[in-house]
C-alpha cells in the first residue's frame, strides 16, 4: 500500500510530488523518494528512510528543479526501510527511473537471471527487478519507453502499480495490476497517484485505471492501452469528494473502505507466497519447522479470534498441539513454556502492550517466537525471532476488518507450510488448499457485489433495535462467531455473545426468546447438519434466526427467518469469506443506529496501555 505520485506539466514537479505524497501518508510509509527530470533531461533522485518530512527537509535545503517527476512513499514488503531500498530505483546508467506499489511474485528468479546477464542490484527490493527488465527491453525496442515497459511487464507476475520515466523522453509511462492507480487530467498538465487525495488540490477530473491498463502521459494528454498494446477508452470522471471523503475512497467511513479493500488486501497477503506448480507455500521466514513440539498462540481481541482459527488449521493440517490465550491472561498464568515451544503473537498494530509483554514472557522461558503482524517495523517485529507480515496495508478504522481476514489467511498459509514441512499434508492436499486460498480475493469480491451488500444491509436494519444478539458457529467457524459478535458490539454497542453452536444447550439456550436474533454460521461443512439441529433448537424457542448459508444451499434456507448467502468456499478457508458478511452486518447495524463506526466510544486502535 505504498503512495505513488507522478507529474508532467508547467509546475515545479517537486512541489506537486511532496504535496501529493503528504496526502497519502494515511497509507503508511517507512521511507520516501522523488525523481525529477531537469530541463537538460538529466534525472535527479533523492530518497530518504523515515517519514516524508525527512525527504522534504533535504529538498527544502537543496530543491530539485524540473517539471516532470515521480514520487513514492514506501510500505516495505521486501527489504528493510532504508535509503537504498527506498524508491525510486534507477537503471545503471541513471536514465530510467521507476517507482512501484505492489509485490512482484516472481522477483527472485528474475533477479537471478538479470544478475547472470550482468545487471548489478543495489537494493534488497523486489521492485528493482522492474527497472533492470525495462532497461533490457528498452535496448531491444529502438528506444521506445512505452514498448520497453510493456514487454518487461510480460515477464512479471504479481501486483504492481508502476510509474516510469526516462531521461531522453519527456513522458511518463505507467501500468497497474491489482495495485490502484488514478490519473488526474489538468490544463496542459497530467497527474498520477495511487489514490485520489493526492490529486484533489490540482484537479477533480480523474481517470481510474483498470487492472491491466497502461498509460502514456504527455504535457497535453494521455493514451490508455491494455498490456497487449491495444488502445482502450477510459472515461474522465468529475470527482466532487472533499479531502476527507477522498481519503475514504468515497466511502462514508474508513471501516467501510477497508471492508471493500479486502480483495486487494488478501491478494497482497497471499501473492508471492503460493506456488501452484509445487503446491508449496513460501513464507520467507527462517523458522525451522522441526525445532518445536507445540505452539502457543497469543493475541488480543480480533487478532485473538484469528488465532483461534489458526489453532484449528494448524492442529488439523500440521498435527501440532496448539494452545491459545488472550495475552492479558497468558502473562500472569505462569504458562508452561520452554525451548520446544513456538510462541506466535498476532497483532495488527504490533504495539498492543498485553501481547508485547506476553511475547517477552514467552521469550524469558526460551520459546521461539513468530509474529503475524501488519504494521511494518512495529515494536513486536523488533522483538520476535521472525515476522510473517500480512501486507493488509494501513488499517485506520478502529474495528479491525481487513487485518482480520489477512491474519486468518496468513494462518492458513502457516498451517499449510508446517503441514508440508512435517509431512502431515500430502502434496495433493496442499495443492487443493492452496488453490482454495488463491480463490479468496475473488470469493470476497463476489460477496461484495451491490445486490448481496444491499441484502445484508436490509437484514441488519431489520434487527438493529434488538437488545441482545447471539452468534453461533462450529469447527473452524466457531471463531467466526466470536469475531462477528465482537464486530457488532464494538461499533453498535449492542450486547452480543458468541458460542460454539454445540455449547448453546448447556446454558445459553435459556436466553432464547422471540426478542433474541441468533446469527448462525451454517456454511458448507461436515458439521452442517449438526449446526442445523442447533438452529432448530433455537427456532423451537421462538428465537429469530439469521442464517449464513453457502450459495445454492436452498435445502436449509427454510430454517432461517432471514438468510445471508455467501459464495461457496472450501471449509478451511470459509472463515475469511464468512467474516466479511458479519462485518457488513455489524457496520450496517451501527450505521442504522447512527454510531461513529470509525471511532467507537471507549475504544482505541492500538491498546498500548495496560
Ligand atoms: C478489533 O476490532 C478491536 N479493535 C481490538 O479487539 C483489536 O483487535 C485488539 O485490540 C488487538 O489489536 P492488535 O491486533 O493491534 O494487537
Question: What spacing in Å lies between the alpha carbon of 348 and ligand 1's midpoint?
Answer: 7
Question: What spacing in Å lies between the alpha carbon of 303 and ligand 1's midpoint?
Answer: 6
pTM over 0.85: no
Question: What spacing in Å lies between the alpha carbon of 171 and ligand 1's midpoint?
Answer: 45
Q: How confident is the model at residue 26 (pLDDT cuts 50, 70, 90)?
A: low
Per-residue pLDDT tens over the stretch 159-208:
899 999 999 999 999 999 988 899 999 999 999 999 888 999 999 999 99
**How far apart, in whole angstroms, are the C-alpha atoms of residue 22 and residue 59?**
14
Helix or strand (DSSP H, E) at 592: helix 574-592
Report the CATH fold assignment for 447-610: Rossmann fold (3.40.50)
Q: Is the CB of 348 under 6 A from ligand 1?
A: yes
Per-residue pLDDT tens over the stretch 521-547:
999 999 999 999 999 999 999 999 999
Confidence (pLDDT) at 149: 98
Question: What spacing in Å lies between the alpha carbon of 374 and ligand 1's midpoint?
Answer: 12
The three-class DSSP label of residue 434 is: helix
> Strands 544-550 and 562-566, how do they pair?
parallel
Per-residue pLDDT tens over the stretch 506-523:
999 999 999 999 999 999
Atom 10 of ligand 1: nearest residue by CA position = 301
**How far apart, in whole angstroms, are the C-alpha atoms of residue 201 and residue 472?**
48
| pLDDT of 24 over the 90 cut | no
Beta carbons of 318 and 414 less than 8 angstroms apart: no
Give me 322's grid cell. 496448539
Q: Where are the domains of the chain?
A: 3-244, 251-438, 447-610
What superfamily in CATH does domain 251-438 come from?
Glucose-6-phosphate isomerase like protein; domain 1 (3.40.50.10490)
**How far apart, in whole angstroms, are the C-alpha atoms of residue 39 and residue 352?**
50
Beta carbons of 90 and 84 less than 8 angstroms apart: no
Q: Which atom of ligand 1 is nearest to the CA of 407?
A: 14
| pLDDT of 221 over the 70 cut | yes
The three-class DSSP label of residue 129 is: helix
Q: Is the CB of 531 under 6 A from ligand 1?
A: no
| pLDDT of 218 over the 70 cut | yes
Mean pLDDT of 207-233: 96
Q: Which atom of ligand 1 is nearest to the CA of 605?
A: 4
**How far apart, in whole angstroms, are the C-alpha atoms of residue 10 and residue 195?**
22
Average pLDDT over the chain reads 94
Confidence (pLDDT) at 242: 80
Residue 239, number of CB atoms within 10 A of its CB: 17
Confidence (pLDDT) at 341: 97
Mean pLDDT of 232-253: 87
The reply to whether 3-244 and 447-610 are identical in fold is: no
**How far apart, in whole angstroms, are the C-alpha atoms of residue 114 and residue 107?**
10
Confidence (pLDDT) at 316: 97
Mean pLDDT of 315-337: 96
Q: Omega into 88 within 30° of 0, i.e. cis?
A: yes
Q: Is the CB of 33 under 6 A from ligand 1?
A: no
Q: Omega into 128 within 30° of 0, i.e. cis?
A: no
Instruction: Domain 3-244: state its class.
Output: alpha beta
Mean pLDDT of 51-77: 92
Per-residue pLDDT tens over the stretch 567-605:
999 999 999 999 999 999 999 999 999 999 998 888 878
Q: Where are the alpha helices (DSSP H) in 71-140?
A: 107-116, 128-140
| pLDDT of 327 over the 80 cut | yes
Beta carbons of 544 and 514 less than 8 angstroms apart: yes
Q: Which atom of ligand 1 is nearest to the CA of 486?
A: 2
Confidence (pLDDT) at 1: 63
What residues contact 530, with CB distance under 8 A and at least 6 apart? 474, 501, 502
CA 14 to chain centroid: 30
Q: How confident is the model at residue 465 (pLDDT cuts 50, 70, 90)?
A: very high
Atom 16 of ligand 1: nearest residue by CA position = 347
Share of the chain above pLDDT 90, in %: 84
Share of the chain above pLDDT 70, in %: 99
What residues contact 221, with CB distance under 8 A and at least 6 apart? 190
**How far apart, in whole angstroms, are the C-alpha atoms of residue 202 and residue 163?**
19
Per-residue pLDDT tens over the stretch 339-351:
999 999 999 999 9
| pLDDT of 138 over the 90 cut | yes
Question: What spacing in Å lies between the alpha carbon of 347 and ligand 1's midpoint?
Answer: 7
Question: What spacing in Å lies between the alpha carbon of 256 and ligand 1's midpoint?
Answer: 17
Q: Is the CB of 406 under 6 A from ligand 1?
A: no
Confidence (pLDDT) at 452: 98
**How far apart, in whole angstroms, are the C-alpha atoms of residue 307 and residue 327?**
11
Q: Which atom of ligand 1 is nearest to the CA of 299?
A: 16
Per-residue pLDDT tens over the stretch 243-267:
777 788 889 999 999 999 999 999 9
Q: Interhelix angle for 478-492 vs 301-318, to 10°?
A: 170
Atom 9 of ligand 1: nearest residue by CA position = 301
Buried b (16+ CB within 10 A) or exposed e, 357-368: bbbebbbeeebb
Q: Is the CB of 9 under 6 A from ligand 1?
A: no
Nearest C-alpha neighbor of 29 from the set 59, 71, 57: 71
Mean pLDDT of 352-379: 93
Nearest C-alpha neighbor of 191 from the set 9, 33, 43: 9
Q: Is the CB of 396 under 6 A from ligand 1?
A: no
Confidence (pLDDT) at 51: 87
Atom 4 of ligand 1: nearest residue by CA position = 399
Maximum CA extent, the chain: 81
Confidence (pLDDT) at 75: 74
| pLDDT of 27 over the 70 cut | no
Question: What spacing in Å lies between the alpha carbon of 167 and ligand 1's midpoint?
Answer: 47
Question: What spacing in Å lies between the alpha carbon of 606 and ligand 1's midpoint?
Answer: 6
**How far apart, in whole angstroms, are the C-alpha atoms of residue 436 and residue 430?**
10
Q: Is the CB of 352 under 6 A from ligand 1?
A: yes
Q: Is the CB of 347 under 6 A from ligand 1?
A: yes
**CA distances (Å), 9 to each of 187, 217, 282, in order?**
9, 10, 44
What residues contact 128, with CB distance under 8 A and at least 6 apart? 89, 111, 121, 122
Q: Could you tell which of 28, 253, 254, 300 is best to mutate to test the pocket of ligand 1, judged by most ligand atoms within 8 Å of the CB?
A: 300
Q: Is the CB of 400 under 6 A from ligand 1?
A: yes
Q: Which atom of ligand 1 is nearest to the CA of 398?
A: 4
Q: Is the CB of 258 under 6 A from ligand 1?
A: no
Q: Could you tell which of 348, 354, 387, 586 is best to mutate to test the pocket of ligand 1, judged by most ligand atoms within 8 Å of the CB?
A: 348
Q: Is the CB of 302 under 6 A from ligand 1?
A: yes
Q: Is the CB of 405 under 6 A from ligand 1?
A: no
Q: Is the CB of 395 under 6 A from ligand 1?
A: no
Mean pLDDT of 111-136: 95
495 or 606, which is more confident?
Answer: 495
Confidence (pLDDT) at 511: 94
Catalytic residues: 2, 605
Question: What spacing in Å lies between the alpha carbon of 299 and ligand 1's midpoint?
Answer: 9
**CA distances (Å), 331 to each of 326, 354, 488, in order?**
9, 8, 28
| pLDDT of 391 over the 80 cut | yes
Mean pLDDT of 444-471: 98
| pLDDT of 28 over the 70 cut | no
**How far apart, in whole angstroms, are the C-alpha atoms of residue 448 and residue 440?**
12
Question: What spacing in Å lies between the alpha carbon of 301 and ligand 1's midpoint?
Answer: 5
Q: Please, what is the Cα angle at 515 between 512 and 520, to 5 degrees?
A: 60
Q: Is the CB of 37 under 6 A from ligand 1?
A: no
**How far apart, in whole angstroms, are the C-alpha atoms of residue 353 and residue 607?**
7
Bridge partner list, 13: none
Q: Could you tell which of 352, 372, 583, 600 is best to mutate to test the pocket of ligand 1, judged by most ligand atoms within 8 Å of the CB?
A: 352
Mean pLDDT of 373-392: 91
Amino acid at each position: 500500500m505504498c503512495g505513488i505520485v507522478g507529474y508532467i506539466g508547467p509546475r515545479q514537479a517537486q512541489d506537486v510530488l511532496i504535496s501529493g505524497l503528504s496526502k497519502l501518508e494515511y497509507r503508511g510509509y517507512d521511507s520516501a523518494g522523488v525523481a525529477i527530470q531537469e530541463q537538460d533531461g538529466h534525472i535527479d533522485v533523492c530518497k530518504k528512510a523515515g517519514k516524508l518530512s525527512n525527504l522534504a527537509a533535504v529538498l527544502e535545503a537543496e530543491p530539485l528543479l524540473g517539471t516532470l517527476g515521480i514520487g513514492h512513499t514506501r510500505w516495505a514488503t521486501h527489504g528493510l526501510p532504508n535509503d537504498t531500498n527506498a524508491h525510486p530505483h534507477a537503471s545503471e546508467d541513471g536514465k530510467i527511473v521507476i517507482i512501484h506499489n505492489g509485490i512482484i511474485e516472481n522477483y527472485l528468479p528474475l533477479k537471478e537471471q538479470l544478475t547472470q546477464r550482468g545487471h548489478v542490484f543495489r537494493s534488497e527490493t523486489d521492485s528493482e527487478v522492474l527497472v533492470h527488465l525495462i532497461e533490457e527491453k528498452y535496448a531491444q525496442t529502438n528506444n521506445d519507453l512505452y514498448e520497453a515497459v510493456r514487454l518487461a511487464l510480460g515477464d512479471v507476475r504479481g501486483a504492481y502499480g508502476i510509474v516510469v520515466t526516462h531521461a531522453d523522453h519527456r513522458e511518463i509511462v505507467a501500468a497497474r495490476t491489482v495495485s490502484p492507480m488514478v490519473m488526474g487530467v489538468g490544463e496542459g498538465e497530467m497527474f498520477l497517484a495511487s489514490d485520489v487525495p493526492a490529486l484533489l488540490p490540482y484537479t477533480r477530473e480523474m481517470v481510474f485505471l483498470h487492472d491491466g491498463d497502461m498509460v502514456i502521459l504527455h504535457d497535453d494528454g494521455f493514451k490508455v492501452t491494455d498490456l497487449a498494446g491495444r488502445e482502450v477508452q477510459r472515461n474522465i470522471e468529475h470527482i466532487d469528494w472533499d479531502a476527507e471523503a477522498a481519503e475514504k475512497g468515497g466511502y462514508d467511513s474508513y471501516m467501510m473502505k477497508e471492508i471493500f479493500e479486502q480483495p486487494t488486501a488478501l491478494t497482497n497477503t497471499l501473492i508471492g507466497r503460493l506456488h501452484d506448480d509445487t503446491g508449496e507455500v513460501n513464507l520467507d521466514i527462517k523458522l525451522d519447522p522441526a525445532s518445536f513440539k507445540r505452539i502457543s498462540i497469543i493475541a488480543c481481541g480480533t487478532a485473538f479470534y484469528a488465532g483461534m482459527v489458526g489453532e484449528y488449521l494448524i492442529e488439523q493440517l500440521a498435527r501440532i498441539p496448539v494452545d491459545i490465550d488472550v495475552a492479558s491472561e497468558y502473562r500472569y498464568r505462569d504458562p508452561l513454556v520452554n525451548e520446544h515451544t513456538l510462541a506466535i503473537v498476532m497483532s495488527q498494530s504490533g504495539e498492543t502492550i498485553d501481547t508485547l509483554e506476553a511475547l517477552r514472557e514467552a521469550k524469558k522461558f526460551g520459546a521461539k517466537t513468530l509474529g503475524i503482524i501488519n504494521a511494518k517495523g512495529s515494536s513486536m517485529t523488533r522483538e520476535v525471532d521472525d515476522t510473517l507480515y500480512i501486507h493488509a496495508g494501513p488499517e485506520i478504522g478502529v474495528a479491525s476488518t481487513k487485518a482480520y481476514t489477512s491474519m486468518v489467511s496468513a494462518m492458513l498459509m502457516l498451517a499449510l507450510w508446517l503441514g508440508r514441512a512435517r509431512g502431515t499434508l500430502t502434496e495433493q492436499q496442499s495443492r487443493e488448499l492452496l488453490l482454495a486460498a488463491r480463490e479468496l480475493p475473488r470469493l470476497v469480491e463476489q460477496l461484495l457485489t451491490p445486490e448481496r451488500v444491499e441484502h445484508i444491509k436490509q437484514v441488519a436494519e431489520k434487527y438493529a433495535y434488538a437488545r441482545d444478539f447471539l452468534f453461533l458457529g462450529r469447527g473452524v467457524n466457531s471463531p467466526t462467531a466470536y469475531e462477528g459478535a465482537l464486530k457488532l458490539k464494538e461499533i453498535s454497542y449492542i450486547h452480543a455473545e458468541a458460542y460454539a453452536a454445540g455449547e448453546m444447550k448447556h446454558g445459553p439456550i435459556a436466553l432464547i426468546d422471540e426478542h433474541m436474533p441468533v446469527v448462525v454460521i451454517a456454511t458448507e461443512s461436515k458439521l452442517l447438519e449438526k449446526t442445523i439441529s442447533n438452529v432448530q433448537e433455537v427456532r423451537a424457542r421462538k428465537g429469530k434466526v439469521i442464517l449464513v448459508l453457502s450459495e445454492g444451499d436452498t435445502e436449509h434456507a427454510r430454517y432461517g427467518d432471514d438468510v445471508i448467502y455467501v459464495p461457496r468456499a472450501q471449509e478451511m478457508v470459509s472463515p475469511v469469506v464468512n467474516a466479511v458478511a458479519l462485518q457488513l452486518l455489524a457496520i450496517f447495524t451501527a450505521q442504522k443506529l447512527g454510531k461513529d463506526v470509525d471511532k467507537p466510544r471507549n475504544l482505541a486502535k492500538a491498546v498500548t496501555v495496560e
